[in-house]
Chain A
Amino acid sequence: MGAIYKREMRAYFTSLISYVFFAAFFAIEGLMFAAVYEAGSTTVYAIPFMYPLYLTVFLIPLLTMRTISEDKRQKVDQVLLTAPISVTSLIMGKFWACLSIYAIANAPLLIFQIIVSYHASVNWLLFLYAILGTMLLGATLIAIGIFISSLTESTALAAVLSIVANIVIMFVSSIFELIGIEALTKAASAFALLDRYTSFSDSILKLEDIVYYVTVIAVFIFLSVRSVEKRRWA
């Protein structure tokens, strides 16, 4: 897993993708912080629940699109799958690498919080909730993206499918709400990622939300492993 993680991190930092990713996140987080700071507010923790959220839906597929499809296309999977490591540690190596990049993209939030803490007392617990929620949400979208990447050899197709999947899973309840079907809205909000996410922003740490996220992550990691292994049986 360590070898895969190192190789993936290296690949991110030697390609344009991660820099585009960072630039987009840093810019919007910076803008949000400027606005919050200007207004004299100390609610830095609320930043990730604003616009960066929408960015995440579109940008995480950038990170995950090439994870498995690219290896398959370049036939590098032959070296990975004939190496003495399990498919699970292969997938996990890639998963942690994506998550690390996502964490770095969100690192400015910590800096902002520290800056604010010089002027006013801040609630670090709230901040921690927000970061936890943000990370769990990102990890879920990454797991979904890796799974989609394992289905195709085309990185572009993986990106497009991931974006569609992200939009659906994030906003499914809002979509039903828009259409005006109440029963479906209610049902969908049980599994829509956004609805789970907002409970973090309400500063309520609910175990069920964490369990929900971790379960979704585990399911998609498992599906990715099966999807890679399936090719051996084809």
Chain B
Amino acid sequence: MIKVSGLSKRYGTHLAVKDASFHISKGEVVGFLGPNGAGKSTIMNILTGYLSLTQGSVEIDGYNIMSDPELAKKRIGYLPEIPPLYLDMTVREYLYFIYNLKKVRFPKKAHIDEIIKLVRITEVSERLIKNLSKGFRQRVGIAAALVGNPDVLILDEPTVGLDPKQIIEIRDLITKLGKNHTIILSSHILSEVQAVCKRVIIINRGHIIADDTAENLSKNLSDDHSLVARIIGREDDVIAVLNSVKDVKSVSCLGELETGSRDYHIEPSEGCDIRAEVSKRLAERGKVILSLRSNELTLEQIFLRLTGEDDMRRYFEAPVNKTEESDVAEDAAASDDNEDKEEI
């Protein structure tokens, strides 16, 4: 459905997108993930024909965006980062305008009514757009993208600036739309991409640095099967107990996250599952486990690892929300403390 090969975009001397290639088949829901300024919006603007490309080619359903722009654009519904709305029009007038602009052939009123119902803006459909809240404006933007029922939807940060309830509603809507549309959405919020998209393309400084399903990314990159445990008891004792467990390679204390307990990072020998043994041994020695979880990488950590934001990575990997009195924790994590606090 969408074929991008060797795409580059240069702004003067600045190369915003470097040699990006990917292929999105019909019906896929793909998330573009990347920090602000990574080039997500630039790529989307090129896909929709708003910006030109410096090198490479973009094909939408077989139509080249540069040589057949009108046919390619007809297949795309685009929601830019800031919904492009005429504030002096009512919602219905605006959607009728978009309908005429896109030269849609469906029965006008029925088509627009259906979209209004789908994105749930019925109650504001006769109001001026300038009087609508951010959440409703965002939905009007999505409605405009849906006019003409294009096969491809490109949504640039569709939930930015919305409250949690609206975010959930928009996500549900996107999931619903994903059933019969090809969707690309961008976000710098990782949980959002995880919630809605099966496939994730991670972009940093104009490069595509990963392109896979969220699960695969997490599987491939989390090389260790280490555990994080929260245990009550004296630090020395607990470390001694943990070290006595077979197949434990190393143990380090991460500090006090909850009063009265400490968190420990336990690394097993290659390919060993030590959870049962750890829990048994600690119980025998009267150490209470408050929690025990495997240290699989979340999308956040994958993202930071891939984008190589080292300071940020330490922030996520090492606990930082320690209280002032926990100055006992003098391990590796603590040494990053000052830096991390500044970042917060």
Chain A interface (Cβ < 8 Å from any Cβ of B)? 2-4, 6-7, 10-11, 14-15, 74-86, 232-234
Contacting residues, chain B, for A75 (C-beta < 8 A): 80, 82, 84
Query: Among the listed B52, B74, B84, which residue makes an inter-chain contact with A76, where contact means beta carbons less than 8 Å apart?
Result: B84
List the B residue with the shortest CB-CB distance to A80: B101
Stretch at the interface among B43-51, B159-167, B198-206: B43-51
- Interface positions of B from 69 to 89, Cβ below 8 Å from A: 69-71, 73-74, 76, 78, 80, 82, 84-89
- Alpha-carbon separation in the docked complex, A115 to B70 (Å): 50
A155 to chain B, nearest CB (A): 14
Contacting pair A234 B73 (CB below 8 A): no
- Alpha-carbon separation in the docked complex, A49 to B296 (Å): 81
A225 to chain B, nearest CB (A): 14
Is B197 an interface position by the 8 A CB rule?
A: no
Contacting pair A84 B74 (CB below 8 A): yes
Contacting residues, chain A, for B52 (C-beta < 8 A): 232-233
Contacting pair A82 B70 (CB below 8 A): no
Contacting pair A83 B88 (CB below 8 A): no
Contacting pair A76 B86 (CB below 8 A): yes
Known: A7-B86, A11-B88, A76-B85. Contact between A82 and B103, CB under 8 A?
A: no
List the B residue with the shortest CB-CB distance to A6: B100
Contacting pair A74 B84 (CB below 8 A): yes
Is B98 an interface position by the 8 A CB rule?
A: yes
List the B residue with the shortest CB-CB distance to A87: B69
Contacting pair A4 B50 (CB below 8 A): no
- Alpha-carbon separation in the docked complex, A234 to B45 (Å): 13
Contacting residues, chain B, for A3 (C-beta < 8 A): 97, 100-101, 103
Known: A11-B88, A74-B87, A75-B84. Contact between A82 and B49, CB under 8 A?
A: yes
Contacting residues, chain B, for A76 (C-beta < 8 A): 84-86
- Alpha-carbon separation in the docked complex, A74 to B89 (Å): 14
A185 to chain B, nearest CB (A): 43
Contacting pair B88 A2 (CB below 8 A): no
The 3 closest A-B pairs by CB, nearest first: A3-B100, A79-B84, A3-B101
- Alpha-carbon separation in the docked complex, A14 to B94 (Å): 14
Contacting pair B11 A234 (CB below 8 A): yes
Contacting pair A83 B73 (CB below 8 A): yes
- Alpha-carbon separation in the docked complex, A102 to B101 (Å): 24
Secondary structure call for the A interface: helix
Is B4 an interface position by the 8 A CB rule?
A: no
- Alpha-carbon separation in the docked complex, A14 to B87 (Å): 12
List the A residue with the shortest CB-CB distance to B156: A78
B65 to chain A, nearest CB (A): 10
Interface string of B48-65 (1 = CB under 8 A from A): 111110000000000000
Contacting residues, chain A, for B97 (C-beta < 8 A): 3, 6-7
Contacting residues, chain B, for A14 (C-beta < 8 A): 88
List the B residue with the shortest CB-CB distance to A231: B51
Contacting pair A85 B84 (CB below 8 A): no
Is B23 an interface position by the 8 A CB rule?
A: no
Query: Among the listed A7, A81, A84, which residue makes an inter-chain contact with B103, where contact means beta carbons less than 8 Å apart?
Result: A84
- Alpha-carbon separation in the docked complex, A188 to B51 (Å): 40
Is B193 an interface position by the 8 A CB rule?
A: no
List the A residue with the shortest CB-CB distance to B150: A84
- Alpha-carbon separation in the docked complex, A84 to B74 (Å): 5
Contacting residues, chain A, for B297 (C-beta < 8 A): none
- Alpha-carbon separation in the docked complex, A85 to B73 (Å): 9
- Alpha-carbon separation in the docked complex, A74 to B84 (Å): 7
- Alpha-carbon separation in the docked complex, A76 to B144 (Å): 12
A-B contacts, 7 of them at CB < 8 A, read A4-B101, A6-B100, A78-B80, A79-B80, A79-B98, A84-B71, A84-B103
Contacting pair B78 A78 (CB below 8 A): yes
List the B residue with the shortest CB-CB distance to A90: B101
Contacting residues, chain A, for B84 (C-beta < 8 A): 74-80
Contacting residues, chain A, for B80 (C-beta < 8 A): 75, 78-79
Is B176 an interface position by the 8 A CB rule?
A: no
Contacting residues, chain B, for A81 (C-beta < 8 A): 49-50
A138 to chain B, nearest CB (A): 25
- Alpha-carbon separation in the docked complex, A234 to B52 (Å): 8
Contacting residues, chain A, for B50 (C-beta < 8 A): 78, 81-82, 232
Contacting residues, chain A, for B48 (C-beta < 8 A): 82
Known: A75-B82, A78-B80. Contact between A85 and B49, CB under 8 A?
A: no
Contacting residues, chain A, for B117 (C-beta < 8 A): none
Query: Among the listed B74, B86, B100, B103, which residue makes an inter-chain contact with A11, where contact means beta carbons less than 8 Å apart?
Result: B86
Identify 7 new A-B residue pairs, CB closer than 8 A, beyond the known A3-B103, A6-B97, A11-B86: A3-B97, A78-B80, A80-B101, A83-B73, A84-B71, A85-B70, A232-B52
Contacting residues, chain B, for A10 (C-beta < 8 A): 89, 93
- Alpha-carbon separation in the docked complex, A86 to B86 (Å): 20
